[in-house]
Structure 1
Amino acid sequence: MPKDYTSVVPNLQMKDDLQALVRLAIAEDLRDQIDWTTVCLIDDSRRGGCRIVPRKPGVCAGADLMPWIIEEFDADLQVEIHQQDGTELVPQKAIASIVGNVRDLLTAERTVLNLLSRLCGIATLTKQYVDAIEGTKSRLYDTRKTTPGWRLIEKYAVRCGGATSHRSGLHDGFLIKDNHLALAGDANGPIDASVAAAKAIAWRGGTVERMNAPEIVEIEVDSLDQFRDVLPSGPDIILLDNFALESLAEAVAIRDAAGSPVELEASGNVTIDTIASIAATGVNRISSGALTHQATSLDLGFDWFDADVN
Structure 2
Amino acid sequence: MTTRDFRQIQWDSQLEEDCRRIVRQAVSEDLDRGHDLTTAALIARDISGEAAFVARQTGIACGLQAAKIACEEMDLNVAWQAYLADGDSLAPGVSLASYSGTARDMLTGERVALNLLCKLSGIASLTREYVDRIAGTRAAIYDTRKTTPGWRHLEKYAVRCGGGRNHRTGLYDAVLIKDNHLAIAGHSGPLSKAVTRAREFVQQQLGSGSSSTIIEIEVDTLDQFREVLPVRPDIVLLDNMAPEQLTQAVRLRDAEAPDVQLEASGGINLNTIRAVAETGVDRISVGALTHAAPWLDIGLDWKT
TM-score by length of 1: 0.92
Picking from 283, 289, 292, the partner of 2:290 is 292
Bigger shift: residues 63-72 or 18-27: 63-72
Match of 1:49 in 2: 50
Deviation at 1:189, TM superposition (A): 4.7
- Cα distance change of structure 1 residues 32 and 287 upon mapping to structure 2, 3 Å threshold: same
Question: Which residue of structure 2 aligns with residue 147 of structure 1?
Answer: 148
Shift of 1:201: 4.2
**What is residue 248 of structure 2 aligned with on the other side?**
250
Displacement over 6 Å in runs of 4+: none
> Counterpart amino acid of 2:224?
Q
User: Separation in 2 of the partners of 1:119 and 1:212?
Assistant: 33
C-alpha change, 1:210 and 1:76, in structure 2 (3 Å) is: farther
3-state SS of 1:95 partner: strand
Q: Secondary structure at the match of 1:301?
A: strand
Quote the Cα distance in structure 2 between the aligned partners of 1:299 and 1:171: 35
Q: How does 1:1-310 map to 2 (within 5 A)?
A: 1-185=2-186, 189-202=189-202, 205-206=203-204, 208=205, 215-306=213-304
Shift of residue 11 of structure 1?
Answer: 2.2
Check 1:40–1:12 CA distance in 2 against 1; reply closer, same or farther (3 A cut).
same
Distance 1:212 1:184, change over 3 A: farther
When the two structures are aligned, how many residues end up with a matched partner? 302
Per-residue CA distance 1:205-246 (angstroms, 9 max, x = gap):
32x466876611111011111000000011100000001111
Percentage identity across paired residues of the two chains: 48
CA contact (8 A) 1:2 1:216 kept: no
C-alpha distance in 2 between matches for 1:50 and 1:116: 15
- Cα distance between partner residues in 1 of 2:132 and 2:297: 21
CA RMSD of aligned residues (A): 1.7
Amino acid at match of 1:215: T
Aligned-residue offset at 1:166:
0.5
Q: Deviations over 1:95-134 (max 9, x none)?
A: 0111222111100101111111011111111111100000
Aligned amino acid, residue 282 of structure 2: N
2:153, 2:101 → 1: CA distance?
30
Q: How far apart, in 2, do the equivalents of 1:67 and 1:121 lie?
A: 18
In 2, distance between residues paired with 1:136 and 1:36? 54
User: Does the CA contact (< 8 Å) of 1:2 and 1:236 recur in 2?
Assistant: no
Measured in 2, the distance between the counterparts of 1:7 and 1:253 equals 29
- Listed as ranges, the gaps of 5+ residues in structure 1 are none
Structure 2 residue ranges without an equivalent (≥5)? none
